[in-house]
Structure 1
């Protein structure tokens, strides 16, 4: 077999492959054997029909077609390996010449992973992140949220007001007809929480137990989602919320601490940890953006279009479907036009593919490896974020042949952590931020999320 490679552009090549006919012998034998099992000819036992009879009865062309379908993937793979190409997705194959008994000549156009020129070092990258600052107001707000969780309610004989907890019966009508799924009984609702329908707060405020009100609101879910409905609400109870006193007794009730000051100090520490986490994530994202600005990465058009379609499909059929929304309603809620959505989706797909290419190039350049412990830790994190148990997630990964994808996510996380370590990160106060304790974990978490979004690119590469 002879093969040659023609570069069409930085991300696409054309392979020209010439195969002597004798190299098709195994595939021809397999074709005759397959046809033998599928047909019957009077006078011959099944599976024992001579090749010349098959040629006469069914045509040599049918045999050649079967043989070539069997042989092409083998010769294509051999040509790719000989040329040491890193191909992406499936090739477009065109048979140029087929001479029975002489030769087979075909071409295969396919996208390839582009060559990427990486900087010698990343010390020139500088980014600014938010400073970690926890104010007294932040601490007070945190303690107040805890206090809200320990609030008690007591029924009162007066009209409902902001902050009260009311018990309601709801009935929704569209075009004068009560919806099958439009009736709800004994619903507990805190006035002002915004957790139910638009307009309900204004409707129930001022209503006493035993009273009712009617208002119009757009339904957020159910069989008539998005439609305007007439809502009748009956108040069966009004209860006043009572907050515990902010003192040492509250601290002992709501935490493991003996004093309110100890509780506040712990709240401050937790808020600082959260802000440090956010700061580290922000550093990862901004360093990645700077890195991508430094490097020219040609994007295979076919891969990009596939990625865009995959992102749209996942949004429409998974995320929005679970919320009972379609794309038009989603765009209305987001305040976006279809053109803006298309532009944003394309930009996100380009960034996703570019991120994967650049970090993979870094992994190869630095020869970064992933050990079993790192893979297990990453699997545990991914399982937690997916809502599955580690065993369930691991089983799904193995069954879906997704272990290489997870290994890639961890390796890219390590590559990004290496860049962050070399970069200069300062906060808004001008202070250099030390991310030495968070680098690797934060980078891996950030990259795992990106890699999950880029699954279509990964699958195309594996294909």
Structure 2
């Protein structure tokens, strides 16, 4: 077999492959055997018809088609290995020549992993917020604990922020009732922002028995993105009374005997949380600086795949109704064109992150142990409320285990960069985060992403781009989450092909089908 490679761009190559028919003899043997078993020819038992009889009865083109379909994926793989390129996604294959008895020629265009020059890790310097815990922080934590033991007492006054109210709600769009927005006797904490936009502002100042109307934009359901007229009626008003913060409360709410001991414990716990938040901030800012300093050519097919996945996820929230999505986007003060542009930008950032962290992982020899992979799987299973066995089964069915492995590897690669970078606090003094970023970038068995409540990151999906579409050290679906399906730029496609041969001319039309596509979420 002879093959040549032409670099069409930093991210795309064209392979030209020529295979002598002598190399295809095993393929012809298998093809004749398979076809003989599928047809019935008088005078021959099933599977025993000789090759020349099959050629006479069925035509040489049938055999050639079977041979080409089987041979091209294997020969494509050999050509890729010889060219020492790393394919990304599915190749576009074209059979250019079939000279029966002589040679098979075809070309394959495919996106490839680009050459990337990684910036010097030590040159990266970022600043993070202070992790010191103030007395005010401790007081806030104590008030939160008091609130858990508070009691609700009815009051005869206007509603204030922080009150608990029982309300009736109804909504109409263009005069028609919105069924999913009708409710009675609902309990709600004013100021929590847990219900529809504008409700908390409308409630403040109302009294029991009063009704008020206001306008809001619905964000879900059949009328998502449209303005609705909402009517709210207050049935009752209650305020939360907090227990006195003293030694007796400390004994009630904790294992400590005194309030001072409880406060010391709250300070210690919150210091640990702020430390992990500081670590998350360092990770995100280091990643941002790393991406800004690196020049990463982006394979268009991989980017486009990520764009399509994200667009699908967006419209899925609106029952795949593009018009509803557009209405919602416009209700948020953004045009659909701006939304689409932003979506593509985040997709490009996600792919750039994947490629860069994969390169760093390759250069530094990052390895993922079985235990690390299982820890990620168990953590994700807990996040989504399923057993590890069920999560693994779902990941296998969605072909996601490779993407989970890649996420863990990228997280470890980023931890390597964070360790080498200079991290300073607001005062300019170095911040030591070594206890947070081991080689696995873990904190007490948890990834830094999981240790802080809520995703701090990409994605797919949040504040910082990740390697799945979304989250760097997080797994599929993190905030990004199992939520399906960004393109994993690390997996080369191994194509199978379907070829229809014109028996009269010996030419062929090829359509690549069934090439595996790795996704970043489950």
> What TM-score do the two structures reach when normalised by structure 2?
0.77
Matches within 5 A, 1:21-40: 21-40=21-40
CA contact 1:88–1:110 (8 Å) conserved in 2: yes
What is aligned with 2:418? Answer: 420
The 3 A distance-change label for structure 1 pair 196 and 423 is: closer
The structural deviation recorded for 1:401 is 4.3
SS of structure 1 residue aligned to 2:243: coil
Give the Cα–Cα distance (whole angstroms) in 1 for the partners of residues 364 and 162 of structure 2.
58
The 3 A distance-change label for structure 1 pair 222 and 194 is: same
SS of structure 2 residue aligned to 1:451: coil
* 2:492 corresponds to 1:461: yes
Higher deviation after alignment, 121-130 or 232-241: 232-241
SS of structure 2 residue aligned to 1:457: coil
What is aligned with 1:96? Answer: 96
The 3 A distance-change label for structure 1 pair 48 and 84 is: same
Matches within 5 A, 1:397-412: 397-412=395-410
CA contact 2:355–2:489 (8 Å) conserved in 1: no
Q: Could you say what the CA RMSD is over the residues aligned between the two structures, in angstroms?
A: 3.3
* 2:116 corresponds to 1:116: yes
Give the Cα–Cα distance (whole angstroms) in 1 for the partners of residues 233 and 148 of structure 2.
26
2:432 to 431, 434, 442: 434
Q: Show structure 2 runs of 5+ residues with no match.
A: 450-456, 460-465, 471-485, 494-515, 517-522
String of CA shifts for 1:388-421, please: whole Å, max 9, x gaps: 3333223333444433333322222222222222
* 2:13 corresponds to 1:13: yes
CA contact 1:212–1:234 (8 Å) conserved in 2: yes
Give the Cα–Cα distance (whole angstroms) in 2 for the partners of residues 411 and 299 of structure 1.
21
Matches within 5 A, 1:201-280: 211=209, 213-218=211-216, 219-280=218-279
The 3 A distance-change label for structure 1 pair 404 and 165 is: closer
SS of structure 1 residue aligned to 2:314: helix
The structural deviation recorded for 1:426 is 0.7
Instruction: Give the count of matched residue pairs.
Output: 459
2:468 to 449, 452, 458: 452
CA contact 2:93–2:108 (8 Å) conserved in 1: yes
The structural deviation recorded for 1:69 is 1.1
2:389 to 379, 388, 391: 391
Matches within 5 A, 1:168-187: 168-187=167-186
Give the Cα–Cα distance (whole angstroms) in 1 for the partners of residues 264 and 327 of structure 2.
45
The structural deviation recorded for 1:438 is 0.6
SS of structure 2 residue aligned to 1:456: coil
Give the Cα–Cα distance (whole angstroms) in 1 for the partners of residues 228 and 332 of structure 2.
22
CA contact 2:251–2:258 (8 Å) conserved in 1: yes
Give the Cα–Cα distance (whole angstroms) in 1 for the partners of residues 176 and 343 of structure 2.
40
String of CA shifts for 1:357-378, please: whole Å, max 9, x gaps: 2222222222222222322323
Q: Show structure 1 runs of 5+ residues with no match.
A: none
String of CA shifts for 1:53-110, please: whole Å, max 9, x gaps: 4434433223212221111111111222223321111211111211111111111112
What is aligned with 1:349? Answer: 347
The structural deviation recorded for 1:225 is 4.0
SS of structure 2 residue aligned to 1:434: coil
Give the Cα–Cα distance (whole angstroms) in 2 for the partners of residues 167 and 435 of structure 1.
47
Higher deviation after alignment, 353-362 or 69-78: 353-362
Higher deviation after alignment, 55-64 or 15-24: 55-64
The structural deviation recorded for 1:431 is 1.2
The 3 A distance-change label for structure 1 pair 335 and 134 is: farther
The 3 A distance-change label for structure 1 pair 412 and 202 is: closer
CA contact 1:164–1:190 (8 Å) conserved in 2: yes
Higher deviation after alignment, 145-154 or 431-440: 145-154
The 3 A distance-change label for structure 1 pair 256 and 448 is: farther
The 3 A distance-change label for structure 1 pair 329 and 58 is: same
Give the Cα–Cα distance (whole angstroms) in 1 for the partners of residues 135 and 293 of structure 2.
41
* 2:315 corresponds to 1:299: no
Give the Cα–Cα distance (whole angstroms) in 2 for the partners of residues 208 and 125 of structure 1.
57
| Greater gyration radius | 1
